[in-house]
A and B are shown apart, each in its own frame.
Chain A
Amino acid sequence: MSVLAVTFDAFTNVEFWIGVGVLAGAYAIFALGLQLNVGYTGIVNFGQAGFMAIGAYAMGILVVDHGVSFWLALPLATLIAMAAGVLIGLPALRLRSDYFAIVTIAFAEMIRYTAQNARELTGGNQGLLGFDDDWVEFSIEVQDSLASVGLGDQFLLPLLLAVWTTLLVLTVLLRRVTNSPWGRVLRAIREDEDAARALGKNVFAYKLQSLAIAAGVGAISGYFLVLNLAFINPQQFEPLVTFLGYAVLVLGGLASYVGVIIGAVILWTLLEATRFIDLPLSAEKVASLRFIIVGLILILLMAFRPQGILGKKEEMVLGD
């Protein structure tokens, strides 16, 4: 019989938890886009990792290959990702939900695959480096200012602050926009597209807008994830990322933006906290175990509490 030993001082390892915070925050942003699509519009977007990849690579290529300023590349790449959302949405959004899920996964894999094989453009599996010089400079300045309040020794702290500020701003914006008349049309589409059409709403246009916004938000989450690693490579955009995004979504609850934040924090705490449990298993096995747990969470949640922690049962409708 093995004894589980939990190393308590590890729990207070600030650097570690800042890293978790960055991941949780970035995934929360990623899932905000999914929430808009799935929870509020009823479109089952499984290509979010693809938009993330387009945004990240567009940014990286603009900075490294074309000398564009990092700060300018960010909004430009976001627009490129949104354009991709429109491009893929035009043919795909008229498909039925299950076909839409399949075609969006295929699209995301195409992007990742292209990133892997178009080596001259993207660096292939070796990845893209050197796009973050401006950010690092800025980050160090922020660190210096933080030093004046005694928080200057954490390298990732500026990134954490950036991620969570962006997350909160986006959450507020998205809530505003979803509770508006525009958002009301989305919610009607979510439940019954024909009802919306019969009332004069151009359903296709709304779905396209929803997808484009989600693509932009996905791109933004991508920037934070690649800044975290200082490196862009195709492995960061595997379907696993989208599936984890959905895990965040269903944990926190459909149709709840705050739920997304809670879901992200819970999921990443769970995933990373397992590092501290001293199981008599190799690191590889622990990694597998973590994902088995994620899978079980998905299955059990969907079976017994599909609305998640904060979701509302009455709003659990997806007209398909």
Chain B
Amino acid sequence: MDAGTSSRPAVDASHRRALRYLAQRPPLVVALIMLVALLALVITEGLQPTAQRTVNGFVSGSYFALGAVGLTLVYGTLKLVNFAHGDFLTFGAYIAFLFSVSVGLPLIVAAAIAVAATALLGVGTERVMWRPMRERKAGLLQLLLMTIGLAFVLRNSIQFVAGTQPRTLDVDVESSVAFLGLRIGRTELIVVAIGFAVLVGIAMMLRSTSLGKQMRALSDDFDLASVTGIDTDRIVTVTWIFAAGSAGLAGVLYTSAIGTLTPNIGFFLLLSLFAAVILGGIGNAYGALAGGLIIGLAQEWSTLLVDARWKVAVGFIVLILVLIVRPQGLFGRERTV
């Protein structure tokens, strides 16, 4: 038993160092957990089913991430929890439907119009609702209830105009691409491609452009940023353009991937989007990206273990767990809670 007494303290010390290293890097811990989960699933459920679900997870992860980015940008800059965000997704999807199916334009054009229209809607709400309320120093409950009221108005206006019957965008739901024994729908592939391209674009914009830096400054400390000469009104408007625009696009992508469109899809997604945002760290765009992807993967992987109807519950469970264990999420800072 005495063999190696001199080496034991060294081993313990390096264990402790490793644990401390991990404790300071939650994203790494989560990545490791996911890797372990993936391996466990491959072993127990088989490589092909797991790989297929992983592909599906990337598809849903792309529109979750895109939807979550907008939600987190608005929260980061304005500290506004926008319960109407889901309905921005619905709005975008319906505009795309209107211009592609009803008017007959190609889907790409209709999607572009949808993004622009939703961005306009976002800026509109900023000018008409949020800016005046900020000037009046409105409290949390006031703003929350206003976003809920807005959600009611948006969703039911769409329902008033378009009715409740499910619509479909004119997308190719038949053909799929096969690779390495896995299938991905052609449309789904396009969804992932567009989704990721836009997400990377937004991430790069935030990181490298002067605009992005100003947005991040405002998000860090609104009052401080405004006294350092940043044109807050302009940056806030731009934030809404990105937030609402990405929401509109996410709505179009979601509808393309899923196939059907009803006035409730946005609200239905909203909680998963909140889960992604909070998992990633509210206010942090990279976090929303990571969070969206993780939620998407987790949901699809769960279908290997439980009935698919429990898929959405995964988002809720993640949300509740994060808020209990680490409320500031993966990339958030301790003081924000």
Interface residues of A (CB under 8 A from B): 38, 44, 91-92, 95-99, 101-103, 105-107, 109-110, 113-114, 117, 239, 243, 246, 250, 284-285, 288-289, 291-292, 294-299, 302-303, 306, 316, 318, 320
Stretch in B39-47, B148-156, B220-228, B292-300 with 4+ CB within 8 Å of A: B148-156
Write out the residue numbers on chain B whose beta carbons fall within 8 Å of the beta carbon of A291: 152, 155-156
Q: How far is the CA of A159 from the CA of B214 in the complex (A)?
A: 60
Q: Contacts A91-B323, A99-B323, A114-B313; is A299 near B150 (CB within 8 Å)?
A: yes
Contact B160 A44 (CB under 8 A): no
Report the minimal beta-carbon distance from B118 to chain A, rounded to whole angstroms: 18
Q: A292 touching B153 by the CB < 8 A rule?
A: yes
Whether A303 contacts B150 by the Cβ 8 Å rule is no
Contact B139 A318 (CB under 8 A): yes
- What is the interface of chain B, defined by CB distance below 8 A to chain A? 79, 81, 129, 132-133, 138-146, 148-157, 159-160, 163-164, 267, 271, 274-275, 278, 307, 309-310, 312-313, 316-317, 319-320, 323-324, 327, 337
Q: Which of B79, B154, B317, B324 has the most CB of A within 10 A?
A: B324
Q: Is the interface of B mostly helix, strand, loop or mixed?
A: helix
Establish whether residues A289 and B156, one from each chain, have CB atoms under 8 Å apart when the complex forms.
yes
Q: Is the CB of B320 within 8 A of A110?
A: yes
- Cα A294 to Cα B19 in complex, Å, equals 53
Using Cβ atoms and an 8 Å threshold, which residues of chain A touch B163?
284
B297 to chain A minimum Cβ distance, whole angstroms, is: 19
- Return A187 CB to nearest CB of chain B, in Å: 16
- Cβ-closest chain A residue relative to B310: A117
Structural contact, A44 and B316, CB atoms closer than 8 A? no
Contact B320 A103 (CB under 8 A): yes
Task: Name B318's closest neighbour in chain A (CB-CB).
Answer: A106
Across the interface, which residues of A come within 8 angstroms of B159, CB to CB?
284, 288
Inter-subunit contact B152/A318 (CB<8 Å): no
**Cβ–Cβ < 8 Å partners of A246 in chain B:** 145, 148
Q: How far, in angstroms, from A302 to B312 measured CA to CA in the complex?
A: 32
Q: Which residues of A contact B146 (CB under 8 A)?
A: 298-299, 302-303
Q: Is the CB of B81 within 8 A of A95?
A: no
Supposing A99-B337, A320-B140 touch, asked if A106 and B149 sit within 8 A by C-beta, the answer is no
When distances are taken between beta carbons in the complex, the residues of chain B under 8 Å from A297 are 149
- New A-B contacts (11) at CB < 8 Å, excluding given A95-B337, A102-B81: A91-B323, A92-B324, A102-B278, A106-B319, A109-B316, A114-B313, A117-B313, A288-B156, A295-B150, A298-B145, A318-B139
Q: How far is the CA of A296 from the CA of B307 in the complex (A)?
A: 40
| Residues of chain B lying within 8 A (CB to CB) of residue A95 | 323, 327, 337
CB distance A103 to B323 under 8 Å? yes
Inter-chain contact A302/B323, CB cutoff 8 Å? no
* Contacting residues, chain A, for B164 (C-beta < 8 A): 284
Task: Give the docked Cα–Cα distance between A309 and B271 (Å).
Answer: 32
Closest to B136 in A: A303
Among candidates B129, B144, B271, residue contacting A44 with C-beta atoms closer than 8 Å: B144
- Pairs A-B, 10 closest by C-beta atoms: A295-B152, A298-B149, A295-B153, A299-B149, A288-B160, A288-B156, A291-B156, A295-B149, A288-B159, A91-B324
Q: How far is the CA of A70 from the CA of B309 in the complex (A)?
A: 32
Contacts A106-B274, A289-B156 given: A298-B148 contact, CB under 8 Å? Answer: yes
B337 touches A96 (CB 8 A): yes
Tell me whether B316 and A318 are in contact (CB under 8 A): no
Q: Which residue of B lies closest to A119 (CB)?
A: B309
Q: Which residue of B lies closest to A306 (CB)?
A: B142
User: Which chain B positions have C-beta within 8 A of A114?
Assistant: 313
Across the interface, A107 reaches (CB within 8 A) one of B143, B320, B327, namely: B320
Cα A295 to Cα B156 in complex, Å, equals: 9
How far is A250 from B274 in the complex, measured between Cα atoms in Å?
Answer: 25
List, in ascending order, chain A residues with CB within 8 A of B267's CB. Answer: 239
Q: Which of A96, A105, A106 has the most CB of B within 10 A?
A: A106
Minimum Cβ distance to chain A for residue B169 (Å):
22
User: A101, A239, A292: which has the most chain B beta carbons within 10 Å?
Assistant: A292
Q: Which of A92, A113, A296, A298 contacts B312 (CB 8 A)?
A: A113
A68–B263 Cα gap in the complex (Å)? 41
Contact: A44 with B141, CB < 8 Å? yes
Least distance between B263 CB and chain A CB atoms (Å): 8
* Cβ-closest chain B residue relative to A240: B152
Residues of B within 8 A of A289 (CB): 156, 160
A115 to chain B, nearest CB (A): 12
Identity of the chain A residue whose Cβ is nearest the Cβ of B307 in the assembled complex: A117
Contact A243 B148 (CB under 8 A): yes
- Which residues does chain A contribute within 8 Å of B156, judged by CB atoms? 288-289, 291-292, 295
Chain A residue contacts of B79, Cβ below 8 A: 98
A292 touches B320 (CB 8 A): no
Q: What's the least CB distance linking A268 to chain B, in Å?
A: 16
Cα of A298 to Cα of B83 in the assembled complex, Å:
13
Between-chain CB contacts (< 8 Å), 19 pairs? A44-B140, A102-B274, A103-B319, A103-B323, A109-B271, A110-B317, A246-B145, A250-B145, A288-B159, A289-B160, A291-B152, A292-B152, A295-B149, A298-B149, A302-B138, A302-B149, A303-B129, A306-B138, A306-B139
Asked whether B151 lies within 8 Å of A295 as measured between CB atoms, the reply is yes
CB-CB < 8 A to B154: which residues of A?
A: 295
**Which residues of chain A come closer than 8 Å to B278, judged between CB atoms?**
99, 102
Query: Nearest chain A CB to B176's CB is how many angstroms away?
Result: 29
Please measure, in the bound complex, the distance between the C-alpha atom of A98 and the C-alpha atom of B76, giving whole angstroms. Answer: 13
Q: Which of B132, B153, B310, B324 is the one whose CB lies under 8 Å from A303?
A: B132
How far apart are the CA atoms of A97 and B141 in the complex, in Å?
Answer: 9
Verify B160–A105 contact, CB threshold 8 A: no
